[in-house]
């Protein structure tokens, strides 16, 4: 199979395309022939060896990045009951033991594989689960967002952020979204969010106080920026604030708020809950650009540039 591989951790120049053996499946695993693979903002940290060092993984090479994708079931283990060869599926496999999704094929545990809903394209299914489940973890598990509460979502035009605004909207919260640049503001507004401001030029604190004079009940910070600390002064006393670990800089703790960092941790329970959200037809992913596998270096350079929502690899040549 064709795969984007690393022979050592490092810069974008370590990304190479070459042929590897198709992974085998254990009794509870599914082999997926991939059509699309999501490019996560966290993939650069993984490429540089950050997770390997942090988690003492002692990784083997060649190493394949990628934690989400969509395609067709090509094979399955003897104990897999709910999926059949030929099913169109999407899957999530952060730090997948048998290699990531930047490849023609991936072998992943069946509990992380779900059928693609009719309301979701294969392209969107390939990029939505990682950011979507991370947004869901923050809103439901950490913040416990309720209908009619006010929430500040910072980084609303990014991968996690643009899923977070959709989930919060469908929970019934009142959303104040901070996006990036005019195109980011327009994208978030297209998702049905009325109060969207430009984090690069607007007077954020003044606009936030106009929106929530008594302070926000909650905030989800999905991107790091110097302006975040001033905005957190607009959260009411006892307000809940969450951020996914990995944003830089992390928000400063304030004595009047409850601040928690968290990991996406795509376990079975979280993925099943996200799958229910996706099947509701209420979520979509904005894909800024689709790359060929041979454009891996350009794709990873783009992670450091301005883009909206998600980036994606087209894996299959079909």
State percent of the chain over pLDDT 70: 100
138 and 112 within one domain: no
- Residues 158, 251 within the same domain: yes
pTM: 0.95
Residues 249, 302 within the same domain: no
- The 3-state secondary structure of 42-103, one letter per residue: CHHHHHCCHHHHHCCCCCCCCEECCCEEEEEEEEECCCCCCCCCCCEEEEECCCCCCCCCCE
Report d(CA 274, CA 49) in Å as an integer.
Answer: 28
Q: Are residues 115 and 50 in the same domain?
A: yes
In a domain, 273, yes or no: no
**Tally of CA atoms within 13 A in the half-sphere of 15 that contains its CB:** 21
Query: Both 44 and 62 in a single domain?
Result: yes
Question: Residue 10 has which token pair?
Answer: 């490092």
Per-residue pLDDT tens over the stretch 121-179: 999 999 999 999 999 999 999 999 999 999 999 999 999 999 999 999 999 999 999 99
Do 187 and 102 lie in a common domain? Answer: no
189/115 same-domain check:
no
Range of the domain at 67: 2-120+284-314
Q: Is 223 a domain residue?
A: yes
Domain contains 299: yes
| Whether pLDDT at 316 is above 90 | no
At residue 202, the pLDDT reads 86
Q: How does pLDDT run across 231-283, given as a tens digit for each residue?
A: 999 999 999 999 999 888 999 889 999 999 998 878 999 999 999 999 999 99
111 with 143, same domain: the answer is: no
| Average pLDDT of the chain, as a whole number | 96
For residue 183, the domain's CATH number is 3.40.50.720
- Do residues 289 and 305 lie in contact, with contact meaning Cβ atoms separated by under 8 Å? no
Q: Are residues 140 and 204 in the same domain?
A: yes
**Domain total of the chain:** 2
**276 assigned to some structural domain:** no
Q: Is there a domain that residue 277 lies in?
A: no
The reply to whether 146 and 216 lie within a common domain is: yes
């Amino acid at each position: 199979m064709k795969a984007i591989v690393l022979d050592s951790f490092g810069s974008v120049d370590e990304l190479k395309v070459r042929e590897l053996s198709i992974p085998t499946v254990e009794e509870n695993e599914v082999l997926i022939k991939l059509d699309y693979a999501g490019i996560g903002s966290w993939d650069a940290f993984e490429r540089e060896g950050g997770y390997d060092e942090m988690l003492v993984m002692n990784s083997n090479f060649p190493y394949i990045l990628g934690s989400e994708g969509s395609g067709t079931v090509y094979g399955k283990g003897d104990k897999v009951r709910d999926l059949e060869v030929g099913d169109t599926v999407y899957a999530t496999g952060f730090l997948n033991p048998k290699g990531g999704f930047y490849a023609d094929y991936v072998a992943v545990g069946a509990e992380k594989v779900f059928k693609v809903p009719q309301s979701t394209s294969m392209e969107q299914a390939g990029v939505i689960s990682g950011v979507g489940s991370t947004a869901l973890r923050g809103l439901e598990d950490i913040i416990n967002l309720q209908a009619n509460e006010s929430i500040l979502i910072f980084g609303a035009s990014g991968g996690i952020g643009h899923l977070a605004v959709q989930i919060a909207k469908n929970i019934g919260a009142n959303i104040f979204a901070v996006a990036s640049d005019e195109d980011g503001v327009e994208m978030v507004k297209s998702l049905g969010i009325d109060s969207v401001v430009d984090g690069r030029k607007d007077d954020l604190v003044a606009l936030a106080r106009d929106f929530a004079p008594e302070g926000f009940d909650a905030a989800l910070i999905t991107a790091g920026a110097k302006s975040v600390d001033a905005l957190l002064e607009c959260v009411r006393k006892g307000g809940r604030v969450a951020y996914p670990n990995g944003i830089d800089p992390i928000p400063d703790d304030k004595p009047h708020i409850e601040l928690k960092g968290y990991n996406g941790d795509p376990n079975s329970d979280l993925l099943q809950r996200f799958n229910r959200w996706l099947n509701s037809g209420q979520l979509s992913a904005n894909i800024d650009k689709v790359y060929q596998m041979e454009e891996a270096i350009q794709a990873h350079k783009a992670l450091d540039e301005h883009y909206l929502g998600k980036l994606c690899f087209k894996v299959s040549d079909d």
